[in-house]
Amino acid sequence: MQRYTSYIPYREALEGKGISCIEEVRYFLSRIEDHKNLNAFLEVYGAEALERAEAIDAKIASGTAGKLAGMVIALKDNICHLGHKVSASSKILEGFESIYSSTATERLLAEDAIIIGRTNCDEFAMGSSNENSAYGPVLNPLDHSRVPGGSSGGSAAAVAAGLCHVALGSDTGGSIRQPASFCGVVGFRPTYGRISRHGLLAFASSFDQIGTVTNNMEDAALIMEVISGKDIYDATVSSRPVPEYSKHLETEEKYNLVYLDECVNHPGVDPEIKARFSEILNDLQGLGHPNKNASFPYLDQVIPVYYVLATAEASSNFSRYAGMTYGHRSKDAKTLEEIIVKSRSEGFGPEVKRRIMLGTFVLSEGYYDAYYNKAQKVRRLISDHTNNLLKENDFLILPTAPATAFALGENTADPIAMYLADIFTIQSAIAGLPSISLPLGWHSNGMPFGIQIIGRSYEEEKLLAFSNYLMNKFAKRGK
Ligand code: GLN
């Protein structure tokens, strides 16, 4: 499908003058056109990408090209890119253009990456199937009757279908890892605070994190070292130095792994996913990576805690969409109150409204202690428990999702069933830990599924290296 397995051989070919960025961009543009029915892109910057490719070809020829020269990247439609539209797949931001670039976007551009377009997603990143987009669902490239996962469904589908080299997504409770699992690609959510969220449209600020969707570990590592690190525009970003992740992808170390009984033995886990998971654990044991089980008594609390806290934060973040300073303003509103009420009623989709109402309720007087405060306490318990497990063990290993991609429309009438798709991805988001979904399994229904590894806070280097080892050992289809 793709002509290069990763950026490094592509760059070598660029330097060897065998090929050009222009050819590469043309190739992707024609693939995007051929795969329009996937609805992965909301907008493609064809002419701009070609112009940029030409300029970067010249830089390569003169030896002045940046680290990601010619890498073709898609941005999830909630990441700002100066002078380009950004809508978070919502009607409320229809026509709105970014007035600055996110720090991540700026850093990619400074290293001569090429941004080819913005990808479809669930409205304001709220969802697990991409069916909440105001611009229609995305189809799973491996089976068009199924969803690609969400909320970064367009990013995952674009990478899986070979429409770009890599994509950026955002992960609040699993929105990079779950679609990566459904589409058979690598989805990485770094530690909370590793990458600036300046210019990422906020959903739930104590969870939101930018991350990568790639076909391999090399590309994830390269992008990580470009976009991570301190930023004066985001006070939540750590000033810890950023390692050269791509130079440390090989590891000979033996790691201690822990898995959680309640997750593996959860009745909702597909038996083939469970079988593959056990097989990998067994093989790893044989390769010198001991694993043990542990109990995770909070599995039933993970989804409620997330939905109380994330909706509370969203209800407060979304007060900015009031039809006043930007975004949609209702045409028939006359008074100030009507502007706010009508603009929001017309602009937001049903899932966003459901969450704003839920979030406002859990923050309201009389309920704050029972819901919001209680959820904060349980968040701490889950976080402490997870960090304690990682004190004694190098990595936590678990399936990314309980099942493979479901059919379009299958869960739309049942929000609880939809929320359950994130049962295994929320734990690390609650604890702010780096976590990755690796495409290590294939189901007899023809669909891929991911195995998830959670590492210690800021130990991305080790997590990426171990992931690379796992990809080399287990990623081949059918093993
Ligand atoms: N699917 C989860 C939700 O709907 C997670 C979303 C995300 O990570 N942005 O909230």
Cα–Cα dist 216/24, whole Å: 18
Is there a domain that residue 388 lies in? no
Give the position, in ligand 1's atom list, of the atom nearest the Cα of 170: 9
Pairing of strands 114-119, 41-44: antiparallel
Contact (CB, 8 A) for 162 and 1: yes
What does the pLDDT read at residue 1? 44
Residues 6+ apart with CB under 8 A from 140: 146, 147, 148, 149, 157, 182, 183, 405, 447
Contact (CB, 8 A) for 453 and 467: yes
- Residues in the chain with pLDDT < 50? 1, 478-479
pTM of the predicted structure, to 2 decimals: 0.97
Is there a domain that residue 57 lies in? yes
Cα–Cα dist 39/106, whole Å: 26
Closest to 278 in 3D by CA, of 265, 267, 288: 265
Is there a domain that residue 446 lies in? yes
Is there a domain that residue 436 lies in? yes
Give the position, in ligand 1's atom list, of the atom nearest the Cα of 355: 10
Contact (CB, 8 A) for 102 and 80: yes
**Domain range spanning residue 187?**
1-295+395-479
What does the pLDDT read at residue 479? 41
| Tens digit of each residue's pLDDT (9 = 90 or more) over 239-291 | 999 999 999 999 999 999 999 999 999 888 999 999 999 999 999 999 999 99
347 CA from centroid of ligand 1 (Å): 20
Pocket of ligand 1 (CB under 6 A): 125-128, 151, 171-175, 203, 310, 422
Is there a domain that residue 359 lies in? no
Give the position, in ligand 1's atom list, of the atom nearest the Cα of 429: 8
Is there a domain that residue 20 lies in? yes
Is there a domain that residue 426 lies in? yes
What does the pLDDT read at residue 413? 85
77 CA from centroid of ligand 1 (Å): 15
The domain tally of the chain equals 1
CATH number, position 5: 3.90.1300.10
Hey, whose CA ends up nearest to atom 10 of ligand 1?
Answer: 126
Is there a domain that residue 325 lies in? no
359 CA from centroid of ligand 1 (Å): 14
Cα–Cα dist 367/411, whole Å: 29
128 CA from centroid of ligand 1 (Å): 6
Active site amino acids: 76, 151, 175
> By CB neighbour count within 10 A (0-12 exposed, 13-18 middle, 19+ buried), where does 241 fall?
exposed
Closest to 249 in 3D by CA, of 188, 202, 310: 188
What does the pLDDT read at residue 477? 61
